[in-house]
Amino acid sequence: MRLSKKELINKQHNSINLSPPSLLALGFLSFIIIGTVLLKLPFAHQGDLTWVDALFTATSAVTITGLSVVNIGESLTTFGQVVVMILIQCGGLGFMTFAILAALSLSSKIGLKQQIMAQETIGQTSLARATFTVKGVFLYSLFFEAIGTGILTMAWSHHYDLEHAFFYALFYSISAFNNGGFSLFPNSLMSFSDQYMVTFTISMLYIIGGIGFVVLMDIKKAKRWKKLSTNSKLILSTIAGLNLFAFIVIWAIEASNPLTLAPMSFGDQALNAWFHATVPRSSGFNSLEVSSMSNASTLITMVLMFIGGGSLSTAGGIKVGTFIIMILSVITFLKRSDEITVFGHSVSHQATFKALAVIAITSLLILIGFFTLLILEPDKKFLDLLFEAVSAACTVGLSRGITENLHAGSQIALICLMFAGRLGPLTLAYLIATPNKSRVRHPTTEIQVG
């Protein structure tokens, strides 16, 4: 049946015309609201759980941050813990991934707006490539989470019955691979600081999840370093370099700290130094008391949290690609060269502008959040509040132990930081993907810089 012209116009006016970032924000917001309501159900928690506590927990799970104002293992029932686990999975894969997969299963064609959302969300330029990537994201997540669940079940079966060991393993595999950072134990992984299988498996899960799905698929396809794309080589080499640097420095600094590594054996020191060198990539777990680490290690941790992981990964931060492009830009300027090159390829000026914008926006977000916390929490330490702001804005989840003691207003500020930190890069990507070019050209001028 054909519609009249008037009916078509009315249908267009009645339809919801939202930009991709708006739809993405509404999608994440809907997950948060649903999660909040579910966590407030009487059989989802034990004792008193306020609406702010439920909202904070749901937001932290959906934004795969890991900051928590309640003890998940004690305050929530098994149902509530399953809700958190599902929210982490949905937040890690992204609600658009599920939406696109559902659309693909129902129709062979996707509308223009859905194409833009698919391409913008996963950083691809063609629908065919976007479809392939989305399927890869889903399959890779299930694959690595299944492996992690199997290994952790075997490791924990020596301490718990099989049912509890499996549940713990499943929860931690999903939380680790998605860089969620949520723990069912009150001291995160500090009780397992000397258990190599548990600690190393979880570290590998969040490292793989933080590399980026496009890089993982490129590794599977190329199988050799020479055949990898320039982007994959850059991400892998940078992450390896950052992890190695942080591992050596943190071990050297904390080896003499009696509150962290000093009491441990050589092997345990190496394991936990490695764990805390890679944790700031965005995982949020800790096997050492973060508040007991030296100021130097804390500074390095904040820098690593700010950098984050690879693009199209479960990690947060400004992303490794952004960080290395800015470093290369500085080197290129100092060398007085006109072209930024990496592995024999040139980097576009648009990529440099994008990197600058991401760093500036993330820094501003942290500054606003930190300033807000300073006003609301005058009795808290300067370093603790700065650490909390960086962790929330970069969706990491590490804390120096003050999250539960913050006022409700400060917790709401952190909720806003986590939400904005999760959606910020997506919104920026959309703005860059839809440039508004003008034919008008203005005369150049010189502005003094430096």
Question: pLDDT digit of tens for each residue in the chain (450 aa)?
Answer: 454 544 544 444 444 456 666 777 787 889 999 999 999 999 999 888 899 999 999 999 999 999 999 999 889 999 999 999 999 998 888 755 655 555 555 444 555 555 555 555 555 445 556 667 777 788 888 999 999 999 999 999 988 899 999 999 999 999 999 988 899 988 888 888 888 999 999 999 999 988 888 888 888 888 888 888 888 898 999 999 999 999 999 999 999 999 999 999 999 999 999 999 999 878 889 889 999 999 999 999 999 999 998 877 788 889 898 899 999 999 988 988 888 888 878 888 878 888 888 898 899 999 999 999 999 999 999 999 999 999 999 999 899 989 999 999 999 999 999 998 887 655 655 554 555 556 666 676 666 566
Q: Residue 343 half-sphere exposure, CB side, CA atoms within 13 Å? A: 16
Residue 14 tokens read as 């009645």
The position carrying tokens 């995160």 is 188
User: Is 447 inside any structural domain?
Assistant: no
Whether 11 is covered by a domain: the verdict is no
Element (H, E) at 371: helix 349-376
Whether 79 is in a domain gets the answer yes
Residue written as tokens 């190695």? 244
Q: Look at residue 176 in the predicted model and tell me its pLDDT.
A: 92
The one-letter amino acid code at 120 reads E
pLDDT (0 to 100) of residue 316:
84
Compute the distance between CA of residue 394 and CA of residue 383 in angstroms, rounded to an integer.
16
Please check whether residue 301 is in contact with residue 239, taking contact to mean a CB–CB distance below 8 angstroms: no
Q: How far apart are CA 301 and CA 251, in angstroms?
A: 13
Question: Residues 6 or more apart from 169 whose CB is under 8 A from it?
Answer: 148, 149, 150, 151, 152, 153, 155, 156
pLDDT score at 314: 81
Within 10 angstroms of residue 425's Cβ, the number of other Cβ atoms is: 22
pLDDT at 371: 97
Buried b (16+ CB within 10 A) or exposed e, 204-221: bbbbbbbbbbbbbbbbee
- How far, in Å, CA of 174 to CA of 149, rounded? 8
Please tell me whether residue 68 adopts helix, strand or coil conformation: coil
Residue at 450 is within a domain: no
Domain residues for 174? Answer: 20-428
433 within some domain: no
pLDDT score recorded for residue 8: 42
> What phi and psi, each to the nearest 5 degrees, are found at residue 228?
-70, 155
pLDDT value, residue 353: 84
With respect to residue 310, please indicate whether it lies within any of the assigned structural domains.
Answer: yes
Name the 3-class secondary structure at 347: strand
Give the pLDDT confidence score for residue 313 in this predicted structure: 79
Total domains, the chain: 1
Whether residue 413 is contained in a domain is answered as: yes
In this structure, which amino acid lies at residue 331?
I
Query: Would residue 203 count as lying in a domain?
Result: yes
Q: How many CA atoms lie within 13 A of 319 on its CB side?
A: 26
| Cβ neighbours around 40 below 10 Å, total | 17
Q: 345-347 and 340-342 as β-strands: parallel, antiparallel, unpaired?
A: antiparallel
Note whether 258 and 288 are within 8 A (CB): no
3-state secondary structure of 282: coil
Per-residue DSSP letters for 244-271? Answer: HHHHHHHHHHHTT-TTTTTTS-HHHHHH
Specify the DSSP class assigned to residue 283: T
CA distance 165 to 153: 5
What backbone phi and psi angles, to 5 degrees, belong to 26?
Answer: -65, -35
